Every structure is written in structure tokens, then in C-alpha cells.
Amino acid sequence: MAAPLPELHVSADHARRFLVRRHLLDPSRSLPAKAASVLRVVDRLGSLQFDPLEVPGARNHDLVLHNRIAGYQREWCDRWLYGKDRRLIELYNKSLNILPVRELPFYRLAWTDGATRYEGLLAAHSTLANRIRDHIRESGPASTASFRDVEDRIQWWWDSDAASTGTKAARAMMETMFVTGELGISRREGSRRFYDLIERVVPARLLDTHAAEAEQLRHRLLSRHRGVGLMSVGGPSELVLGTGKAPDRARITAALIDEGALVPVAVEGFREVRHVLAEEMSILRATAAAPPTATPSVSFLAPLDPLIWDRRLVKGLFGFDYIWEVYVPAPKRRHGYYVLPLLFGDRLVGRIEPRLERASRALRIAGIWFEDGVGPMEEPGFIPALAIALDAYRRFVGARAVTWPRTKPGREIAGALRRIA
């Protein structure tokens, strides 16, 4: 089934304004300072990508939330993930994602796939699996620390190096039981996961609800549209993972258009058709013209922020080529280890690498880089907006002071910030 040709055409400038507004970044940090705002962000974006690295002083999803919620505190998200009134859950969708727990029936495909893939592994290590089950059933949520006596190792999915000695068996088995839906993440303490039986994590009414595979694929694809905001039928593999094959996505997309859930849009500079969620057409209309008196804000975007999930879209609209270089060998990096895109209004103007030095509670800016043609000293309003964003970030990560690199832009910005302090 071929999708209809779009009747709606938008300019690249309009598309940028729309994306920044619908991603709740116009302006930054504008949602109310309360835990309920976390649920509002997840409802708008569909999911948040989880990554445990805290190099800049916060995890990826906390950075996403900080950029949208005034005075965000990481306990607010943890409350919904791990508290008694659990509204969010960690499940595999695009990757390990934070999702509304009420949507669990539409993500069970990951458990089904995991059960098929790891059936043999569970059988081969059934004694350890049974020990884990019995321990958690009798003693409550547990981490791998409860099984330190287990010295066996297993070749697990991240052991791609042939010379790897493997992963500790208890860790691999608990992860296996998580991806097959037998265990859920009850809480985290730092980077340590505490697992519990899934029936003690998720309400029985949700566990007993099974959506058909076609409904799950439809929902999962729609969740990616909620994340991106202007998505095409296809996309990079990491964006469309788990949404079916290309013909499935084309068929589901056409059906969503017929149902009125998606609106086809022709975007300046792109040959392929993009799509807007019908419920967000009011935002598209509201951003048709640039506001005459808007004061742009600055955000330090998370490396896995939904705004930059579709790298082709970002490059085509913003002229910004972003690669998260955390997995790139140091000699091959163009910028730094954990570099965040700098959003100024509806433009991606550069990159910044903040690092929290926990011993001294200092926020060290390891580097700052600007795109060609961007002069931070000449950009109207940039330095004051950066000062606001930097102070919000410093308070968010609990730093007492900020230090700048001895590069030319670092020295210039540090001096300009001192002058307006």
C-alpha cells in the first residue's frame, strides 16, 4: 500500500522551529518544577533512552529531563520508575528505554524474542537460574552482589572480542531473565541493578494483557514518531529496530495516515516524505512564522536526546553532523569523549563537554567547539543564554564552581561570563 503524496509543504526553517517546540525545548527548562512534569515529557516523546554513564554528572535520560523541566531533580524520575506508584518501567524498545508502564502490553515482543533467543542459554545454566529465582522469591530484590561466589563466566552479547574471558555468569543470567520478561528492575543504586520477579514489579492486569503482534508493531512504530517528530517511513537501523521489516513499516505507516494519526509532510531539502503526528498539527501551525520578540535559550542536549535520534534529519535541517564519540577510540575522536550538542534557539551551534569532578565538586568544561560561521561573542543573546543554561546545569549536577579550558573560545567565554555575572 503506497502512502499518499503530501499536500502540506514546510520550509526547513519552519521544520526546525516545529521540532524544537514539540520537543519541549522552546524555551528550555520551561515545564513546572515538579515530578509530574517527568510524565508529561515521556507522554510527549514516547520513551527516554537509558544509558548508565554519568561522565557529565548525570545519566542520559536525566539530561533529557533537565533540559525540559525547571529545577529538575533525578529523584523525580526515580520515583516513577522505582516507587510505590510506579508509572514508568525499563524495557527494551529502541534500546533499553524508559516507557510508560501502562504501555507494557505493546512491548512484550521484546520478551518473546528474548525467550526464543536465549532458551538454550537458560537451559544450559538452569541450576543458576533456579538459584536466582529462589533467592529473589524468598529474600526480595537482589543484585549480582548476592551471587559473588559464582565464578563461572559466559560469553554474553557485549563480549564481541574473541579474546574476551566472558561475563560473570550471575550477571549474564540475571540480564537474560530480564530480557525474557521473568525479572524486572526494581531499583538502581548507582550503576547496580536490583532485580525482582516481574509479577512484583508490574500489576497483574498488565501482565495478563497481551496485544496482538500487529498491534505491537503499530504501537512501537508510532512511539518512534513520537520521539522524532518528523519521521520518514524508514530510517537508520537503530531508529527502526523492532518495528518490523521495511514492507511492514510502509504498510503500517499508510494505515496510520488513513486513520488520521499521521499527516504526510514535504520538508524542504528532503526527497522522502516525512510525517507529523495529527495531534501535533496545532504546534506545526503555531510555528509557521518566527516569533518577533523571542529570546532564544540554550540547552546542553543529551547524546541520546530524541531530538537527535534521526541523524539524517538533524544534518539536513540543522546542518549539524553529530557522532557520540564515547565508543570511538581516543586517537580517532574529532571532539571529545562525552560531548553534548549546544542548542541555541532553533539552531545547533556547537558542542560542549562538561565533566563533573566529584572529589572537588567542580564542573570542568573539558572543551567547547562551535560550528563554522558561528561566533559566540557576536551571536546576539548567546552569552546571557549560555550563562543561564550553565548555572542551571551546575546546580543540577551539584557543582560548586565551573572551570573553562585554556583554548581561545574557552578563555573568551569565561571572560564574557565574568563580565555579566
Cell numbers placing 27? 524555551
Closest CA to 295 of 376, 232, 381: 381
Distance CA 51, CA 62 (A): 10
Q: Are 56 and 304 in contact (CB under 8 A)?
A: no
Question: What pLDDT is attached to residue 154?
Answer: 85
Distance CA 303, CA 307 (A): 10
Q: Report helix, strand or coil for 153.
A: strand
Quote the Cα angle for 49-52-53, to 5°. 110
Q: What is the pLDDT of residues 266-300, one digit of tens each?
A: 999 999 999 999 999 999 999 999 887 678 999 99
Burial of 139 (0-12, 13-18, 19+ CB in 10 A): exposed
- Low-confidence residues in the chain, pLDDT < 70: 1-5, 158-164, 293
Q: Are 176 and 164 in contact (CB under 8 A)?
A: no
Closest CA to 13 of 261, 347, 282, 333: 347
Question: What pLDDT is attached to residue 88?
Answer: 98
Distance CA 375, CA 387 (A): 16
User: Which H/E stretch holds residue 89?
Assistant: strand 88-92
Reported residue count of the chain is 421
Q: Are 73 and 34 in contact (CB under 8 A)?
A: no
Strands (E), 261-400: 262-267, 274-277, 298-300, 340-344, 347-357, 362-370
Place of cell 569532578: 357
Distance CA 222, CA 119 (A): 30
Indicate the pairing of strand 88-92 with strand 96-100.
antiparallel
List of residues 6+ apart from 140 with CB closer than 8 A: 196
Question: What pLDDT is attached to residue 3?
Answer: 54
The sign of the CA dihedral 101, 67, 283, 343 is negative
Question: What pLDDT is attached to residue 163?
Answer: 56
Closest CA to 291 of 3, 39, 8, 18: 18
Distance CA 55, CA 83 (A): 26
Q: Alpha helix (H) ranges present in 260-343?
A: 281-286, 311-318
Indicate the pairing of strand 298-300 with strand 347-357.
unpaired
Distance CA 291, CA 295 (A): 9
